[in-house]
Structure 1
Amino acid sequence: MSKTDSFSSLTLFAALLAFAGAASAGAVYTCKDTDGKSVYQATPCSIDSLNDTQASDESRRQEAVLQAAAADYAQRIKEVEAMMENDVKMNQTLEHKGQ
């Protein structure tokens, strides 16, 4: 492999890494700064930078996310409780067999 081929391969690899990083960066949010100019950022806009309709929509979106997270958390707690209950039953069975 020549130096040119190595350099081309390395350049291609670096470009792919850069592209992969940009692709995984996620959403880009368009917000307004204090002067009303558009600002682009990787995190959601603060409520202060949104107009009333956007703020209301963002509040509803955040509420939905929180409700989904709470439901997921409740489900995980139920699963852990069921696992613990099974462990207790297994321990009781083992203790009973050991007597």
Structure 2
Amino acid sequence: MSHPATSAPAERSAQRKQPTHSGEGHLASNLVTFAVMMALFLGSIFSLTFFDQNNVWAFAACLVLFFLAFWIPQSILGRSDTGPALAEGDRKA
């Protein structure tokens, strides 16, 4: 029931492993993902340069690209699949 005694608080903190963050160690893939999503976002803004009131395809393209630029990272690449587990208190998901 008792824990082994250590001589200093520094030793105790050295023994504990800090949890890693979700993106730690994935710099290249994070940069590629950021570049692709930023390209989608800037493409949605650029598509508005072709918008006029007689032709609405540019506005439709803007909406689709803008939606994809935010939906892909939040739902597909994010932790949306672990939401129910986290709601139940399982922090290991």
- TM above 0.5: no
* Greater helix fraction, Structure 1 or Structure 2: 1
TM-score (norm 2): 0.30
* Greater strand fraction, Structure 1 or Structure 2: 1
TM-score (norm 1): 0.29
Higher Cα Rg: structure 1 or 2?
A: 1
